[in-house]
Structure formats: C-alpha cells, structure tokens
Structure 1
Amino acid sequence: MTNGSVPTAGSGPGEHAERGVVDLLGLLAYAELVAFFRTAEHAELAPTLEAKGKLAGLAAGEYANHERLYTGLVQRGADPEEAMRPFVAPLDAWHARTEPQDWLESLVKIYVGLGIAGDFYRKVAELTDEGTRELATSAVADTQRAEFIAPQVRAAVEADPALGGRLSLWARRLVGEALSQAQSVAASRMDLAVLLAGGAQEDTEQHGDGSGSGDLATVSRMFATLTDAHNTRLAAMGLGS
C-alpha cells in the first residue's frame, strides 16, 4: 500500500481515503507520542508529589494510546515511522510556540490545548471507517485529564481570581495556535485534506496548486463547530470563554 500524499495518475477516491486514514493515524500516533513526552516534562513543574504522580499517570496513558495507534498502522500495512514523519515538524512547532511558563499554564495546555486538538481529530475520524473511528476516539478521550486538571485550576482561580484573566487569554492562544497548526497540516497533506472535506476530492484537487485555500476554509469551519466542548472545559476550570 502506498501511504504518501501525492496521488498517482490512477488514484481513485478509495485510494485517497485509505491514504488519508493512514495520514490521520500517523498524525494521531505522533501527537500521542509527543503528548507523552510533554506531559511527563510538565510533571516536573508540579508543586506536590501527588500531582507529579497524577501527571505521570496521564503521560503513561498518552503512551498507551500511541502504542494502540502504532499497532493500528501496522495492521493496515503501513510503516508507522513513515506515517508519523510528516507531522513531526508541525506538531513540534506547535509545542514550541505554546511552551507554558508555570504549573497552571501547563495544566491548561494539557487540558485545553490537547483537548481541542482531540476534538478536531475525533471529528475527522467521524469521516472514516468504523474501526478507525473507534481507535481514534478512544485515543483522544480526555476524561482522565478532566478529572485531575479541572479541579486543580478551578481551586487556584478561586483562591486568586486575578489568575482567571491570564489563564483565559492563554487558553484562547492555545486554540488559535491549534487552528494554525491544523491548517498547516491540511495544506501540506492532500489525502488528509480530502478526508477533511468529507471525500470531496474534486474540490481539494482544485486547490492542489499549493494555495490550500479550500483546505484552510474546511479546517476553519470544523474548528468553529468545536466551541461547545471548549467552553465546557473552560467552565470546568472556572475560566471565562
């Protein structure tokens, strides 16, 4: 199976869709791997041993998700290393641009930043086959993050209301950076862009000159539908939208 993003002359919708699924799983697999490393790093900022342990547990969960996605790629006949490689630069750049300055910012990043990205991946996965959809959905679930992080941030904001404004601005920045990163990926991966467009191959190929205008608009529209989950996370942490 070919899993690059440049279509061959005989490529059909089915081949685009299959390569798009491999792209999605490769993106998710690397996202979970880097989330493991970053969450483990954030644990060093934790003020208590209990909090360090909780974040270490969250990091372990991210790595378990990575392993499931890695296995899913192998089962599809894809090379996981090749599937993940195109997403290393954009995801690393997103993390570099959103480096938290303290413990609370790190918590908001883990909950809001990874949460909005997970919402987006879940929405894309809805366009795939049942097996891929179930694998992706289980990998991006954030229940454990919510149970630990939301009460921590809410308690800090209640104790010092001035934190609320700063952390709300930080949350908005995280979402903006996540949208920018998703647009960058969509513009560079044609088969993933086809998947984002719900299989609208003709529309995607119309913008195949590198402008990516149709792909960016599709990503923007998809992000606009994720506001409910995002606002729920903010409210759980005691932050305004």
Structure 2
Amino acid sequence: MTHRLDDAGYRAAVVDLLGLLACGELAAFSRLAGDAELAPTMAERARMAGLAVAEYDHYRLLSDALVERGADPETAMATFAAHYATFHERTRPSTWLEGVVKAYVGDGIATDFYREVAAYVDPATRALIERALEDEERTGFLVTVARDAMQADPVLAGRAALWARRLMGEALTQAQAVAVERESLTELLAGTYGGPGADLAELGRMFGRLTDAHVERMARLGFTA
C-alpha cells in the first residue's frame, strides 16, 4: 500500500513529525553550544562547537522542509517544546562528562526512535529525515571523549554508567509519551494514511529494538546496560 500523499491528515502528520524533529535539533544545538563552554581543552571546545553547528544545519534543513510544505516552523515545533523541556529538566547534566554522555546516549535513543517512525512515511520524507539524523562523526567523537575521561578516573566511570541508565529511562518515557499523546503520530504509526501499519505487538518490538540499540551504545562506552 502506498501513502496517500494528497490526504490532508497525512500531510498534517508529516508536519507534526518534522516539527518534532526540528524542535529536537534546535534543542540539541543549544545544549551542545552550552556544553562546549564546559570543555576542559580548547580542542574539545572547538569540536563540541562544531557538533552544535551541525545540529543547527539539521534544524535548518527541517525548518526549510516545513516551509516548503506550507507550515510555520515555530508553530510546528511549539507542539513538542514541553516534551523536550521536561526531558532536559529531568536530565540536566552537572559535569562536562555528564553532558557528553547525555549527548551520546540521550540523543542516540531519540535518533533511533525517529528512524523507527520514519519507516511509516513516504520515501521522500524518509530520505529527508535520514539526512537530518546523520550523526556518525558526532558519535565517534563523543564516544572517544567519554571513554578517555572515564579511563583516566574510574570513579567518574561508575557515575557515568548510572547516569546513562537514567537517561535511557527518561528518554524512553518521553518517546512513549510523544507517540501516544499526539494523535497524528499515532495514526501515522497505525498506517491510517497508507503505507505499513504497526499493531500493538509491532510497537512493542519497536521499543524492544530501541532497548537493544541502547545496550549496544552502552557497550561502546564500556558499560553493561
């Protein structure tokens, strides 16, 4: 079954999804820019600032896509601002390392979730989302920085492991809230507008895949989940 691209409900659902992503990318830009100020070396500050710029570029890509679809980016993002504010308030890092782990673990879980949802949109929109979620360079840098810091101080490693587990719980809670509370996204996942649909069993498997990806992410840091 193909997506009903001329369906107003589908177009609204895509605008919601792009607004959710744009809000997340703008939040990531702001947070990484702030984290850069806490970096212990100028080289790390520069790299973190570069990551922030990349997130802003992703935000601009999504913002432009919303405009092309006749939507106001600020309005589209405003719907989800409270969810991001809640997550970031509950997971406010107190150290440079916690900020790095949050950027890697917390944003990684969010990226995995968005990629799962992208499976339910048309190919052109899916390709746009994949471009906005490119993070290979960022991931490699964050893992290296975090591992170096933890190898230098085993006490920090233990605290960082607990922090990463907390991030997992908070991130999944927010992802579930967004998926359930926003009717347009629920209908998108259900296949209401054509394309594949996910029943409760598939949604359960989706969150299982998110958990599995988190386990692999933790392993890259040298943690058990």
TM over 0.5: yes
Structure 2: how far apart are the matches of 1:85 and 1:230? 28
Aligned partners of 1:44 and 1:52 also within 8 Å: yes
Counterpart of 2:67, as a letter, is: V
* Code of the aligned partner of 2:139: A
- Deviation (angstroms), 1:219: 5.7
User: How big is the shift at 1:93?
Assistant: 1.3
Within a 5 Å distance, the mapping from 1:116-131 to structure 2 comes to 116-131=109-124
Q: Once structures 1 and 2 are overlaid, which stretch shifts more, 66-75 or 163-172?
A: 163-172
Partner of 2:79: 86
What residue number does 1:187 align with?
Answer: 180
8 Å CA contact 2:113, 2:210 repeated in 1: yes
For 2:34 and 2:131, the matched residues in 1 are separated by 23
Q: Could you tell me how far 1:216 is from its partner in structure 2?
A: 9.3
Letter aligned with residue 145 of structure 1: R
In the alignment, is residue 153 of structure 1 matched against residue 137 of structure 2?
no
Say whether residues 1:27 and 2:20 are aligned partners. Answer: yes
Contact 2:9/2:193 (<8 A) preserved: no
The answer on whether the counterparts of 1:33 and 1:62 sit within 8 Å (CA) in structure 2 is yes
TM-score (norm 2): 0.88
- Determine if the alignment matches structure 1 residue 227 to structure 2 residue 220: no
Is the contact between residue 27 and residue 84 of structure 1 (CA under 8 Å) also seen in structure 2? yes
Once the two structures are TM-superposed, the CA of residue 232 in structure 1 deviates from its matched residue by 2.6
Question: Secondary structure of the equivalent of 1:226?
Answer: helix
Conservation of the 8 A alpha-carbon contact between 1:179 and 1:220? no
- Deviation string 1:106-132 (CA, Å, 9 cap, x unpaired) is 000001100110110011011101111
CA gap 1:95/1:19 in 2 versus in 1, 3 angstroms: same
The corresponding residue for 1:210 is none
TM-score by length of 1: 0.83
Give 1:187-226 correspondences, 5 Å limit: 187-199=180-192, 221-226=205-210
Would you say the 8 A contact 1:187–1:193 is kept in 2?
Answer: yes
The alpha-carbon deviation at position 16 of structure 1 amounts to 2.9
* Contact 1:157–1:238 (8 Å) recurs in 2: no
Alignment correspondent of 2:166: 173
Residue of 26, 30, 51 corresponding to 1:58: 51
**Superposition deviation, residue 218 in structure 1:** 7.0
Any idea what SS the aligned residue of 1:225 has? helix
Quick one: distance in 2 between partners of 1:110 and 1:220?
A: 25
Give the structure 1 partner of residue 64 of structure 2.
Answer: 71
Percent identical across equivalent pairs?
51
Segments of 4+ in structure 1 off by > 4 A?
214-221
Equivalent residues of 1:109, 1:171 under 8 A apart: yes
**Distance in 2, Cα, partners of 1:16 & 1:116:** 27
Contact 1:40 1:59 in 2 (8 A): yes
Structure 1 regions of 5+ residues with no counterpart? 1-12, 205-213
The alignment yields a C-alpha RMSD, in angstroms, of 2.5
Unmatched segments (≥5 aa) in structure 2: 1-5
Look up the match of 2:9: 16
Indicate how the Cα distance of structure 1 residues 28 and 161 shifts in structure 2: closer, same or farther if over 3 A, else same: same
Aligned partners of 2:61, 2:54: CA distance in 1, in Å? Answer: 11
Letter in 1 for 2:147: R
Change (3 A) 1:136 1:183: same
- Secondary structure of the corresponding residue to residue 181 of structure 1: helix
